[in-house]
Structure 1
Amino acid sequence: MDSRKMRKELEERLKHPGRSFKYDREKDQLRIENTDTGRGITVALPGIIAKWQDQKEKAIDEVVYYISEGLEAMESTPELSGSEKRIFPVIRSTSFPAEAEEGVPFLYDDHTAETRIYYALDMGKTYRLIDEKLLEKEGWEKRQVRETALFNVRSLSVKLKEDRVADNTFYFLNSNDGYDASRILNISFLNEMKNRMKGTMAVAVPHQDVLIIADIENDTGYDILAQMTMSFFAGGRVPITALSFLYENGELEPIFILGKTKSNNLSQD
């Protein structure tokens, strides 16, 4: 599968009245756009091809599904008022765009040196990131969105799976509701987990659909966590960061893990 074939496959499966396709050869990106509004979604073909190597048709099915849902969400008219229970925070990497393609800034806050907090309106099968244009239209303050989203994330379930490897315990939260990584903002939950730790507590959000909490009791635990986080990061639909974080005194500190040693990245935002 090469870029030409992947482009042709996506265009065929996403073909719909009122949509157009634009291919950027230099960046190897395909943009699917609503011809009436000019709004659309741009995807990088190399990343999809890489997933296709492992997952074949499943990789394409997934991309087509999320593009279709995303385009439908863009074409709807979102409202914050009356939808307070559907406002949630989402974690993204610091390289994630700060504004929509139309140039409208998203509402976001710095989180760690590796991550940011964006805010989203849940629309069922997908969600729309909240931008300043929507805030202005609704007459909402940024503070109101933040407080509502952080309140709602505390209401999400925190059902964990547990695995014991080389005398270290790993907990996984993978509910696939789009907000698994967002649970990292539930400080009460993190503090409860901290009280369960026998060793050092580490946390990872490699992509949006998983939260990993590790009880590290020996150096091997750091190696396992690093390999695990990188594997999830490489396979995630919305990757966030391959780095892990130490959780101490209510603070998240990114760590670099090299071999059987660990070194703290002391620079924090």
Structure 2
Amino acid sequence: MKMTSIKMKRKLDELFESDAWRVSFNRDKDVYRIEWKDTKQGVSINIPNVIAKYERRGDTALEELQFHVSESLKMMHEDHQLEGQEKQIYPVIRATSFPKKTKAGTRLVYSEHTAETNIYYALDLGTTYQLIDEKMIEEQGWSFERLKEISTFNIRSLSVSPKKDTVADNDFNFIATQDGYDASRILNEAFLEEMKANALGEVVVAVPHQDVLIVADIKNEAGYDILAQMTMKFFAEGRVPITSLPFIYEDKHLEPVFILAKNKPKE
């Protein structure tokens, strides 16, 4: 029997039963909401999406939903301290279109990186992380420079073990540890300089989504086309997409490049 929105609502009522939370269901929009009774901060869930996942994966899909929603709600209700948590602060790369404020309207702390990307700052909480906003650093009495310095040090301390794939004489190095900071390793200048020192061709870097960094040693024109196709595919499939444009790395500078336009087939 086909799962209806009302039946799914009843399942969600059981999953999110708590004295501290209030649940509601908007029939017109097919949206289910769980929020804290005291702050009214919460999470909205699109019921048709949940039904589609449930029909594919059964109760496993609902267990995952319960975990992620509960983690999100827990984060909203915690007062996180930066002091004493210095080793848990990391930079995260996001597209320039990424929101500059939290849903509550507080400005997020970020710095400009390239024409395509900005750097945000995150407090790692284990299974997830919280983006740091201006209110947090003001309350802690931190300066932006201190936050930037600590996060940069921490990203350099993460291991970098690329897996190499050679296609048409071009080397493609992939960093995909799934720790949430793969794309952030583009800020590890020592690593990029090492790759540059060992490259035979042009070093081109890509961060199509949060969970991968590609550093390519491009030795011929075919390499550009391969990287362009690869980057577009990763970008389309990424959980947190960043940019489909790769960057030429030259003189410690990243310059976005429209590869397909640059390398049209010769007549």
The alignment's TM-score, normalised by the length of structure 1, stands at: 0.82
CA contact (8 A) 1:153 1:186 kept: yes
Q: Is the 8 A contact 2:111 2:120 kept in 1?
A: yes
Q: CA deviation at 1:61?
A: 6.4
| Secondary structure of residue in 2 paired with 1:137 | helix
| CA deviation vs aligned residue, 1:139-198 (integer Å, no higher than 9, x gap) | 111111111101111100001111011111100001111111110111111111111111
Judge conservation of contact 2:16–2:66 (CA < 8 Å) in 1: no
Q: Which residue of 2 aligns with 1:81?
A: 83
Does the 8 A contact of 1:154 with 1:183 survive in 2?
yes
Q: 1:68 to 1:242 in 2, by over 3 A?
A: farther
Select which of 213, 238, 246 maps to 1:236.
Answer: 238
- Within 5 Å, give how 1:20-169 maps onto structure 2: 20=22, 32-41=34-43, 65-169=67-171
CA contact (8 A) 1:11 1:21 kept: no
Structure 2 unaligned residues grouped into runs of 5+: none
Structure 1 residues 197 and 110: alpha-carbon distance in aligned structure 2, compared to 1, 3 A threshold: same
TM alignment of 1:216-235, pairs within 5 A: 216-235=218-237
Match for residue 267 of structure 1? none
CA contact under 8 A between 2:110 and 2:120: conserved in structure 1? yes
- 1:187 maps onto 2:189 in alignment: yes
Residues 106-156 of structure 1: CA distance to partner in whole angstroms, max 9, x if unpaired? 100011111110001111111111111111221111111111101111100
Q: Give the total of aligned pairs.
A: 262
Tell me which moved more, 17-26 or 112-121. Answer: 17-26
Cα distance, 1:36 vs. partner? Answer: 2.3
Shift of 1:40: 3.2
Q: Which residue of 2 aligns with 1:176?
A: 178
Indicate if the aligned counterparts of 1:3 and 1:45 stay in contact, CA closer than 8 A: no
SS for the counterpart of 2:118 is: strand
CA contact (8 A) 1:201 1:248 kept: yes
Question: What SS does structure 2 have at the residue aligned with 1:143?
Answer: helix
Instruction: Give me the whole-angstrom Cα distance separating, in 1, the residues matched to 2:236 and 2:50.
Output: 12
Match of 2:16 in 1: 15
**How far apart are 1:48 and its partner, in Å?**
8.5
Partner Cα distance (2:4, 2:232) in 1 = 25
State the distance in 2 between where 1:149 and 1:84 align: 8
Q: Secondary structure at the match of 1:258?
A: helix
- Is contact 2:9–2:25 with CA below 8 Å preserved after alignment? no
SS of structure 1 residue aligned to 2:159: coil
SS in 2 for 1:179: coil
Alignment root-mean-square deviation, CA: 3.5
Deviates more, 1:39-48 or 1:182-191: 39-48
User: Residues of 1 paired with 2:260 and 2:210: CA distance?
Assistant: 24
Deviations 1:211-254 (A, max 9, x none): 11111111111111111112111221111111111111111111
The gaps in structure 1 that reach 5 residues or longer are 263-269
The yes-or-no answer on 1:261 pairing with 2:263 is yes
Distance in 2 between residues matched to 1:192 and 1:2, nearest whole Å = 55
Q: Indicate the SS of the match to 1:154.
A: helix
Q: Would the aligned equivalents of 1:30 and 1:42 in 2 still touch at CA under 8 Å? A: yes
Distance across 2 between alignment mates of 1:42 and 1:208: 23
**Aligned equivalent of 2:203, options 201, 204, 207:** 201
**AA partner of residue 139 (structure 2):** K
Q: 1:13 touches 1:64 (CA, 8 Å); kept in 2?
A: no
TM-score (norm 2): 0.83
Counterpart CA distance in 1 for 2:35 and 2:151 is 29
Is the deviation greater in 236-245 or in 53-62? 53-62
Distance 1:21 1:117 in 2: 35
The DSSP-based 3-state class of the residue aligned with 1:202 is: strand
